[in-house]
Amino acid sequence: MTSLPPPSDGDRPPAVDTHDDPAIDSRIEPVVDPIIDTRNERLGDGVNRCPQCGATDIQLRPSAGLLICLFCRHEWSEARLDETIANGDLDSLRGTTIGSGASDIDTGADSLITMKCAGCGAEVVVNIAEQMGARCHWCRHVLTINEQVPNGAVPDAVLAFKITHDDATAKIREFAGKRRLFADRAFVRGFKAENVVGVYMPYMVVDGNASADVTGHGEVETRQYSRGSGNNKETYYDADVYEVQRHVDFTVDDLTIESSAERADMNTSINTNNIINTILPFDTENAVKWNASYLTGFTSEKRDQDVAHLQPELEDQLLSIARSRVTSSVERYDRGVRWERERLDVHGTRWVSMYLPVWLYSHQQEGGKRMVHYIAVNGRTGEVMGSVPVSHARLLVGALTVGTFLEGIAIAILVAS
Amino acid sequence: MIAILLNEVASTVAAEADGGDLSWLLALGPAGAGAVYAGLWRYYRNTHASHSFEQETRIEAQPATGSDAKVDEIKGTKKSNIDGDNRANHRQRVQRFD
């Protein structure tokens, strides 16, 4: 028999409600400008020159995370975004502040940009729906898009690849190698880890200042006892029921949310986008101001979601965070807690759009749903996650083998007894 | 997994060896096969995986405040836990209120 005491009053934190306190709001300076200008004023559309020799053949060297001039080998980096904008204290964050690269997408914005080559004067057309730069077909200068066009293609910041293609290939090979035996045979036959591609995926990185309230019921076991005997013996419980209310104030720094509608769809019965989501988080505090040269040699996916579209997902994640934060305060309810109602007050948010680096290996499964299976590697931390299509026939044989073995043991025990 | 299962079975069998009904042992094969199938499928497909933003985001939270008021007593229930326990299921949304 177990008998537990009720929660003691001395353990409980004082019931202080601060979220409606006008004194707090009066201390907060109102947001003056809801738009943070994140344009890289050092760069314009067109020729992006090496600051040392003036050459335009520039690309990322992932092992160093730096841009490198392919002519003079000079290496440099754009300034970190966090150093160039006023972040302020998250506790004082009020209203909605948006980076200029995270502004609403203008669906009518032309995706064809005409740039005048600063090398020879020729006019070069770039389709920014597909690429962020082009080589002048006359003088071979590299022209890049650096100005923030309102179509979601140019973010506030970019986090450069740090994991090299070779490292990503090795990680994907190791991940898939552990899952060969029961994998779909077409996947095994066609597997070539070298086919991994580097993709800059679009995300919104959000700072937030919020409060949440949750209410529900919790139960504390007061007695445990048995009734009956032999095979009819059953355990019974007595418990005290409590109405539980909790309030928590919190800030989040760099919460990362998918800003492509297709990637944000995490229905695992029809896609494997959850794999790409799983390799989060990134060290977003090291993201730098936009420079299209970081994308040279990589592909990118355009943002198609505005802040308003992502607000419900943000609120959902903030509520989940709030619920996780109050868990330690209800541990005394040993029979559990059933949260029934919840409330969220978002005092302030700051949104910045970013391209984050992902190494992606994809395999389209034949037949059935023709689902695309991804193995993804975080381009900064090297965290790997994947979905490997299974051979149901092999899986069935494996399961039946184990089942038969266990059944044999069971029959042997029954015969012996 | 199989070793744990066998260990559990062995201790239960030992406890009931004094004449109890052991016919439930016949369910061991189908249950084991089902568990192996589901476990391997999960290991390959990772449909349960997602970013643990609750733990992996930089969060600064004040200590939770609130109240606890006893409202009822339960006597003689067979249930070992509260109905609808969602204390650890942070992502299950419940009714929003203003």
Residue B26 distance to chain A (closest CA, Å): 6
In angstroms, the CA A97 to CA A31 distance is: 8
Residue A198, strand partner residues? A359
Crossing angle of helices A392-416 and B28-45, in 10° steps, is 150
Q: Say if residue A26's pLDDT is above 80.
A: no
Helix (H, G, I), strand (E, B) or coil at A15: coil
Strand-pair category, A288-289 with A157-158: antiparallel
Q: Quick one: pLDDT at residue B1?
A: 54
Residues of chain B positioned with their CB less than 8 A from the CB of A12: 67-68
Mean pLDDT across A366-394: 93
How does residue A19 score in pLDDT terms, banded at 50, 70 and 90? very low
Query: Which residue from A minimizes the CA distance to B25?
Result: A410
Instruction: Label the pairing between strands A95-99 and A35-36.
Output: parallel
pLDDT on residue A38: 81
Higher pLDDT, A243 or B11: A243
CB contact under 8 A, B54 and A402: no
Q: Of A115-129, A208-222, B64-78, which gets the smallest average pLDDT?
A: A115-129
A376 to chain B, closest Cα gap in Å: 12
- A7 pLDDT band, cuts 50/70/90, is very low
Chain A residue numbers touching B61 (CB-CB < 8 A): 248-251, 325
Find the helix or strand (DSSP H, E) in which A43 lies: none
Residues 6+ apart with CB under 8 A from A351: A96, A97, A98, A99, A102, A204, A205, A206, A307
pLDDT for residue A24 is more than 70: no
The number of residues in chain B equals 98
SS3 A220: strand
Stretch among A171-185, A265-279, A327-341, B17-31 having the lowest mean pLDDT: B17-31
Among A22-31, A45-54, B34-43, name the one with the lowest average pLDDT. A22-31
Residue A340 CA to residue A112 CA, distance in Å, equals: 52
Size of interface A-B (CB pairs under 8 A): 274
Position B60 scores a pLDDT of: 96
Report the distance separating Cα B86 and Cα A374, nearest Å: 31
Chosen for mutation from B67, B77, B89, B98 (greatest number of chain A CBs closer than 10 Å) is B67
The token pair that represents A45 in the structure block: 């559309």
Record: contact B82-A218, CB cut-off 8 A: yes
| Closest to A400 measured CA to CA, from B21, B17, B31 | B31
Confidence of residue A5 (pLDDT cuts 50, 70, 90): very low
Instruction: Using the predicted structure, report yes or no on whether residue A397 has a pLDDT greater than 90.
Output: yes
Q: How much is the pTM?
A: 0.84
Q: What is the pLDDT of residue A21?
A: 45
> B-chain residues within 8 Å CB-CB of A258?
none
The rounded percent of chain B whose pLDDT value lies above 70 is 80
Amino acid A1: pLDDT = 35
Please report residues of A whose CB lies closer than 8 A to that of B79.
237
What does pLDDT average to over chain B? 87
CB spacing of B50 vs A336 below 8 angstroms: no
- From chain B, the residues in CB contact with A406 under 8 A are 2, 5-6, 28-29, 31-33
Q: Residue A31: count other Cβ atoms within 10 Å of its Cβ.
A: 15
**Rounded to a whole number, what is the distance in Å from the CA of B9 to chain A's nearest CA?**
9
**Higher pLDDT among residues A11 and B54, named by residue:** B54
How far away is chain A from the Cα of B80, in angstroms, using its nearest Cα? 7
CB-based burial label for B72 (10 Å; 0-12, 13-18, 19+): exposed
Q: Over 70: is that where the pLDDT of A12 sits?
A: no
Candidates B53, B70, B96: best to mutate against A (most CBs of A within 10 A) is: B53
Of B49, B62, B67, the CB nearest to A15: B67
Task: Please check the confidence at residue A260 and state whether its pLDDT lies above 70.
Answer: yes
pLDDT computed for residue A11 by the predictor: 41
Q: Considering only CA atoms, which of A301, A313, A269 is closest in space to residue A376?
A: A301
Quick one: closest CA in B to A374, which residue?
A: B45
What average pLDDT does chain A have?
Answer: 86
Instruction: Kindly compute the dihedral angle of the four CA atoms of residues A413, B2, B5, B10, in this order, to the nearest 10 degrees.
Output: 40
Q: What is the pLDDT of residue B4?
A: 60
The proportion of chain A whose per-residue pLDDT surpasses 90, expressed as a percent, equals: 59
What is the rounded CA–CA span in Å between residue A293 and residue A67? 7
Residue of B nearest to A284 (CA): B57
pLDDT at B15: 57
Contacts (Cβ under 8 Å, ≥6 apart) of A278: A376, A385, B46, B49, B50, B51
Q: Which residues contact B20 (CB under 8 A, 6 or more apart)?
A: A231
Mutation for A interface: B41, B60, B68, most A CBs within 10 A: B68
Which residue did the predictor score with more confidence, A32 or A62? A62
The CA distance from A375 to the nearest CA of chain B, in Å, is: 10
Cα(A388)–Cα(A384) distance, integer angstroms: 13
- The least confident of A37-51, A282-296, A365-379 is A37-51
| pLDDT grade for A376, boundaries at 50, 70 and 90 | very high
Residue among A214, A219, A319 minimizing CB distance to B82: A219
Which residues of B are less than 8 Å from A319 in CB distance? Answer: 93
**For residue A395, which residues of chain B lie inside 8 Å, CB to CB?**
37, 40-41
Bridge-based pairing state of the strands A337-364 and A157-158: parallel
Predicted confidence at residue A145, as pLDDT, reads 76
pLDDT on residue A228: 86
For residue B53, name the pLDDT band (cuts at 50, 70, 90). Answer: very high
**pLDDT per residue as tens digits for the range A236-254:** 999 999 999 999 999 999 9
* Residue A148, pLDDT score: 64
Better-scored residue on pLDDT, A413 or A246? A246
